[in-house]
Structure 1
Amino acid sequence: MERTLGAVAAHNHRRPGLALLLALVLAVLGGLFARNLSLNANLVDLLPRSFESVRDLHTLEERFGALGWVAVVGEGADAASLQRFADELTPKLEALPGIRFVESQRPSAFFRDRALYFLSEEDLKEVHRRLEARIAWEKRQANPLFVDLVGEEPPSLDFSDLEAKYGGSAGQRLSSHGSDYYLDPEQRRVVLLAKPDTTSADLGYSRRIVGEVRQLLDAQDLSKYGPGFRVDITGTFQKKIDQQGQIANDIAVSSAVALGLMLLYLLFHFRSALAVGLVLTPVGAGLAWTYGLVALLYGQVNLLTGFLGAILGGLGIEHGIHLLGRYLHLRGEGESSEQATRESFTHTGGAALVSALVAALTFFVLGTSRFLAFREFGVIAGVGMVVLVAAYVLVLPALLGLASRWGWRPRLAAATPSQSRMGRVLVRRRGLLTAVWAVLLVALFTQVPRLRFDYDFRSLEDQGLPSFVLDREVNRIIGYSQTPVVVLTDTPEQEREMVRALQEAQRAHGKESTIDFVASLSALVPPDQQAKRAVLQDISKLVETVPEERLSPEQREQLARLRSAARAEPFTQEDLPFSVRQQFQSRTGDSSGFVMVYPSVSLSDGQAIRALAKELRGVHLPSGERSPVAGEALVLADILNMVTHEGPLILGGATLAVLLAMWLTLGGLRMALLCLTPTVVSLVALLGLMPLMGLEFNYLNILVIPVLIGTTVDAGVHLLTRLASPRSDFVAVYSETGRAICGGLLTSAVGFGALFLADHPGLNSIGALANLGFATNLLIMLVAFPALLLVLSERRLRKHRARSVARKEPTVEGPPGSKPAPHAS
């Protein structure tokens, strides 16, 4: 393999024109394919379509349409002006194409007047009993011959206990919270909820519908509602657009900054602008080829793969630093350009290919995940690692050949790096450094049990975006979540049975229930109304006989409400306000089969979402038949369950795959274990550092662990393969290879460090964790591991001397480090 790489590199060095033409054609083709790549940040599309939550959600969208809203918020006026704004804008919004209806008022009056029908017949009789008791007491008090010897308290007309008992009903929850409008007089805000026809997952449609709403708002004369009156848009559709725009901006800014930092470092590392071009040109070609393949395979990038350009760029430059650094060193020793190219790609190129294959294999293990964000990241990164090595083999020798023909000669300072002072310190203080590092690592290992997983789903979205902040205010004004979970049934009978089953489950779980309330058309029409009507007629007669002059103003107001409610007539679904019925209508106008479950837990709490999904999926119809349960909460729960289940499997699979690949490519298990040791130790040290640094795993940054396994192992491969060469000197090898290892890890860190600049919290945490991992690996790779190799070398040498003395054989004296560490150890 090494000889083949060297021969191919030498051939491309001799015939650079053909190699560069081939690379250019492939790059142009890749660029043409990649120009149509789009970004898809929709979480639902990160789960396989075979998942229950995804299937149910698509079923819901086909029957019911969009779950979310376009929320228009007017603010900065008095209550009367806000109501006038809502009344005038509602018909204009409803006239927009693509808007099914607009909800601007609560059905408060309707349900308030019919509140008694939602009580059970027994509780209505209790109301009747309390009224009778109060009237009897009042009559006794009015009797001049009555003497109250015991100071009897008047029976209370307080029905707050019954109000509390039924306060959680769908009618009460949908109509409560004071004003008939979605209005907050203190914050001077009013909310209108426009229901689009299509799901927010269609980003093009989302942009169009939000654009039409914004255009309508821009055409309004807002000054008539008061000075300083303004409007804004939030809701599911606006949040999707803002999140998409933020991620696209993060990709552009982070990638540009990463490229700039890499350029600066390469200039510092090589002190030559030409050397920088020699390293970056193959990387550019490799990335063009890779993204051309991505366009053919997927046609789009997701939340994670959008940043792979910066990440793969950093990892690819690492190969260039090793290869060009070795070439410059050999030229400094007097080798010809072709021979230096052949030698560089024979040994250093072989190590680069091994490390790239190992990294690719690790990424491919990540590509076995059912979570599409991880799967696509793994596949693209794995292919990209191999493609980048191929680009270096094709492009770099050809560029070196052209540069040599044009008379380029590396400067001596760039070709022959000075002997490392650290290398000499390692030789002299190997025992002390090994002991110090051993104590530090043991201390870090003790911190691993403190490591925690962050179950907050806000790591998947930037909650600081203006539309997200305003959306939370809208939820507060409405009084319940805008994103309920929907249970789909086929008939009105099934709908009623499901409502009863959900309410029974809510009562069974008690305070632990994750259900706030359940709403459906059948739940909004109470049963047994005719029987209740007879009791209400008796109550209506009683309330007329209550002497109001003896009541407090508060009691008189309560009595007036009771009198009005007692006069209400029975009602059916057709009598419900249209604003209520339209919320339960399908896209075809069907008004049955939709049971809305409003969660009592935050959708950002991962553990609570899992409990909600478990509670809802455990509810079945009496027949045992399963009803589809759809909603964003169910998708989030499946993402969490999948990540936590697959995480240990992927980690174990990646470690095993790396070990087997290195065993096969390096020719021995002992060498493979030695190369893998600094990676494993640095990962455990990273796990110990995370609690001390206040870092936690989340749904996105957990992929850093298998990535670090694949991307840090090459440092050990480069160091040990060079030390294994005949007549190698430790200090000389450490000086050259350590410098390249440092540069390679730094450029890899820059690639991931670009995510530091992302406003998205999940991507930001990936950058923080990856860079802490690279820093830990760099220290272990440059200090702890070489010191350990020297200690093992010295120990092996002593044993060899002891055996030689026992056999009376001559021994070869020499300081540790003057012999190759792997042979000695």
Structure 2
Amino acid sequence: MIASDEMHTTMTDAQEASEIALAGVAILFIICYREVRKPILAVFSLVLGLAWSMGYTTLSVGHLNIMSVVFTTILIGLGIDFGIHILGRYREERRNGFDSFSAMRETLQKTGRGNLAGAITTAIAFGAMAFTDFIGIAELGVIAAGGILLCFLAMVLTFPACISLEERWLKPKYVKRRYVDLRENLMERFYAHYYLIIFGSLAVLLASAWASQSLRFDYNLLNMQAEGIEAVRYEMKILDNAQRASWNAAFISKSREEARAKYERLKTMTSVGKVEGLFEAVPESQQEKMELIADYAPEIDGYRVAVSNESFSLGALSATMKKIRFKLRKKEKSGPTDEVAEASEWVARFQQDLDSTDAATATERLSAFSKTLFEDYRGRIADLKAAAHPSEVKIDDLPRDLKNRFISEDGRYLTLVYPSINIWEREEMETFLAEMRRIDPDVTGNAVHMYESSRLMIDGYIRGGIYALGAIFLYLLFSLRNLNTTMLVLVPTLAGAVLTLGLMVLYNVNFNMANLVILPLILGIGVVDGVHIVHRYRETPDQGGNVISKSTGMSVVLTSLTTIIGFGSLMVAEHQGVYSVGQVLSLGVGSCMITSITLLPALMKLFHVHGWRI
């Protein structure tokens, strides 16, 4: 029930977040570039890429799961970045005096390299997750990796063509604005203090690393659900009232003797709240109980009940009720919890109803009740006499439906165990499973599945992150042909990750099963920023390392803001897991942006001053 509610809520949240992300990205694009046509054309190219990605998802995986359902929001946040870099560089070249064709050629030849490298590294970051053991993470990796490449292709193939058509028809004019030179001067003065920027950044990163020691992992899946959903409310009621969880551990036994032995051991476990199986339906100490019942059997057999019903008399009943009322009144005590007074009040109400009903109607109704009462009494006495001569209850005597539930066709026995402790908390789950595995190492059930799935999921994200980092490093080293340059490109990723941990502590955000997806995403986003900045520096290495004042720097800032909008839209979700994904990714993207425009350019300035090759 919880899983069903979770999937429904997540699907609804993802659809709403995607709509908000697409609208927000388009609006920010328009505001920053102070025009409507080209940003709308970029959004059109993005939508085309999303459509291709939907088709690719259908062909490659065929469905969405609880994690991959948010892939459209991810692609909106990341896919629009290619268009931003294209448009930013194209406008810069046009203001430098190039015609439309030459400006687009320069853009695709130079910024296009950064876009291609960014698409490949991001696809590697996602694709690495496909090699993990957890199928949900692997599917997300396959879908997102293919989707980001398709969005790149759609943006590279259609957006430049759309810009060319728009320029041919409308012939816009480009004038270099005065604030561009002012911005370059300010950036030059800022990065002149590169040592101060580097040491200040290192101090912040060290503080973030120290603070990150207080981060914890929230394993409780109930904390990820939407607040107030019915399944969670009932789960909490079960925990509070029944003193057990609704999830269980399941034992499979090959014989009745093995099942009985496990059943007896389970009843002694402190973490066990309830055991369900065939032996629950078979009374214990049957022989002793039968001997005790036999002592009372002669007396019970002597009970005699009239065969026919006595005739009903309304007058006799009324007189009897008055006598009862009179005797009860003598024994009433003072106080609100007086049971005798309460019984006396009920008798008084009955008498009032009797007096307010005509005699014929009252006699008809009470006669029918009297008949039913006598028949029920005779039936209960007959049942009591039958129970006074019991026979031993055996498993073979149990109802067929009960046996079918706990005995398989090949003769194996099922025993279900419900914990008495709150297994939604990791420590108590581990305590429960440790006790269960002492009885049977092969114990299964949904409680075991939940524990193992969470373990595989965490392991999958961590391994996916390690695979991605290794693959991205090798690709960058092969592409850039320089170890120092490769390490510089990774600065926004590594430093941004550390800063993200510090911000999570600052905003009291913990890791959970949902927001661990930031590991590959931070790798992809941070590397893309570094790739664009380093590629732009390599175009003009003699200009002192200041590329942030160029269109590339502005594009890095804008792409980060649009990505924050894309991921931040997930924070409208009712599902707390989806909300946390949006929150942590927004912090992560912001951290990568800050390190990309501060620490990385300062390090590049240091390299330039000392004549070190980038």
TM-score class, shorter-chain normalisation, is: 0.7 to 0.9
Match of 2:368 in 1: none
Verify: 1:597 aligned to 2:417, yes or no. yes
**Gap change, CA 1:584 and 1:689, over 3 Å in 2:** farther
Match of 1:761 in 2: 576
Deviation at 1:340, TM superposition (A): 1.0
Please say if residues 329 and 417 of structure 1, whose CA atoms lie closer than 8 Å, have aligned partners that are also in contact. no
Match of 2:141 in 1: 378
2:405 is paired with a residue whose SS is coil
For residues 291 and 401 of structure 1, what CA distance do their matches in structure 2 show?
A: 28
Match of 1:520 in 2: 277
For residues 199 and 407 of structure 2, what CA distance do their matches in structure 1 show?
A: 75
Please say if residues 18 and 73 of structure 2, whose CA atoms lie closer than 8 Å, have aligned partners that are also in contact. yes
2:127 is paired with a residue whose SS is helix
**Equivalent in 558, 561, 564 of residue 749 of structure 1:** 564
**Equivalent in 248, 260, 264 of residue 23 of structure 2:** 260
Verify: 1:681 aligned to 2:500, yes or no. no
Within-5 A mapping of 1:227-238 = 236=1
For residues 637 and 299 of structure 1, what CA distance do their matches in structure 2 show?
A: 27
**Gap change, CA 1:475 and 1:568, over 3 Å in 2:** farther
Please say if residues 484 and 631 of structure 1, whose CA atoms lie closer than 8 Å, have aligned partners that are also in contact. yes
Match of 1:652 in 2: 466
Higher alpha-carbon deviation: 375-384 or 664-673: 664-673
**Gap change, CA 1:481 and 1:678, over 3 Å in 2:** closer
Match of 2:6 in 1: 243
Deviations 1:632-664 (A, max 9, x none): 212111112213434433222221111111111
Match of 1:283 in 2: 46
**Gap change, CA 1:670 and 1:477, over 3 Å in 2:** closer
Please say if residues 127 and 141 of structure 2, whose CA atoms lie closer than 8 Å, have aligned partners that are also in contact. yes
Within-5 A mapping of 1:308-707 = 308-412=71-175, 417=180, 419-420=182-183, 422-462=186-226, 464-473=228-237, 480-489=244-253, 494-504=255-265, 507=268, 511=270, 514-526=271-283, 529-531=286-288, 533-534=290-291, 569-573=390-394, 582=401, 585-586=404-405, 593-620=413-440, 629-707=443-521
2:510 is paired with a residue whose SS is coil
Deviations 1:596-654 (A, max 9, x none): 2112222422343344344334424xxxxx87x44321211111221343443322222
Higher alpha-carbon deviation: 745-754 or 325-334: 745-754
Question: Paired residues, what number?
Answer: 526
Deviations 1:784-811 (A, max 9, x none): 22223323433x15xxxxxxxxxxxxxx
**Gap change, CA 1:708 and 1:249, over 3 Å in 2:** same
Please say if residues 433 and 784 of structure 1, whose CA atoms lie closer than 8 Å, have aligned partners that are also in contact. yes
**Gap change, CA 1:482 and 1:252, over 3 Å in 2:** same
Deviations 1:652-693 (A, max 9, x none): 222111111111122222211111112111112222332332
1:595 is paired with a residue whose SS is strand
For residues 420 and 470 of structure 2, what CA distance do their matches in structure 1 show?
A: 43
For residues 416 and 362 of structure 1, what CA distance do their matches in structure 2 show?
A: 38
Please say if residues 137 and 461 of structure 2, whose CA atoms lie closer than 8 Å, have aligned partners that are also in contact. no
Please say if residues 450 and 691 of structure 1, whose CA atoms lie closer than 8 Å, have aligned partners that are also in contact. yes
**Gap change, CA 1:614 and 1:643, over 3 Å in 2:** farther
Deviations 1:441-486 (A, max 9, x none): 2222212322211121224533521343145336655664444333
Please say if residues 544 and 605 of structure 2, whose CA atoms lie closer than 8 Å, have aligned partners that are also in contact. no
1:522 is paired with a residue whose SS is helix
Paired amino acid for 1:456: N
CA RMSD of aligned residues (A): 3.2
Please say if residues 417 and 736 of structure 1, whose CA atoms lie closer than 8 Å, have aligned partners that are also in contact. no
Paired amino acid for 1:271: R
Paired amino acid for 1:675: V
**Gap change, CA 1:528 and 1:434, over 3 Å in 2:** closer
Deviation at 1:305, TM superposition (A): 1.6
For residues 389 and 83 of structure 2, what CA distance do their matches in structure 1 show?
A: 83
2:281 is paired with a residue whose SS is coil
Please say if residues 700 and 766 of structure 1, whose CA atoms lie closer than 8 Å, have aligned partners that are also in contact. yes
Deviations 1:6-57 (A, max 9, x none): xxxxxxxxxxxxxxxxxxxxxxxxxxxxxxxxxxxxxxxxxxxxxxxxxxxx
**Gap change, CA 1:417 and 1:582, over 3 Å in 2:** farther
Deviation at 1:424, TM superposition (A): 2.9
For residues 308 and 670 of structure 1, what CA distance do their matches in structure 2 show?
A: 34
Please say if residues 606 and 640 of structure 1, whose CA atoms lie closer than 8 Å, have aligned partners that are also in contact. no
For residues 422 and 495 of structure 1, what CA distance do their matches in structure 2 show?
A: 83
Gaps of 5+ in 2: 299-383
For residues 706 and 495 of structure 1, what CA distance do their matches in structure 2 show?
A: 50
Question: Percentage identity across aligned positions?
Answer: 24
Match of 1:203 in 2: none
Please say if residues 520 and 584 of structure 1, whose CA atoms lie closer than 8 Å, have aligned partners that are also in contact. no
Please say if residues 447 and 691 of structure 1, whose CA atoms lie closer than 8 Å, have aligned partners that are also in contact. yes
Where does structure 1 differ by over 6 angstroms across 4 or more consecutive aligned residues?
538-541, 574-578, 587-592
Please say if residues 515 and 600 of structure 1, whose CA atoms lie closer than 8 Å, have aligned partners that are also in contact. yes
Deviation at 1:501, TM superposition (A): 2.2
1:673 is paired with a residue whose SS is helix
Match of 1:715 in 2: 529
**Gap change, CA 1:497 and 1:327, over 3 Å in 2:** same
**Gap change, CA 1:480 and 1:685, over 3 Å in 2:** closer
For residues 506 and 403 of structure 2, what CA distance do their matches in structure 1 show?
A: 51
Please say if residues 460 and 762 of structure 1, whose CA atoms lie closer than 8 Å, have aligned partners that are also in contact. yes
Higher alpha-carbon deviation: 582-591 or 650-659: 582-591
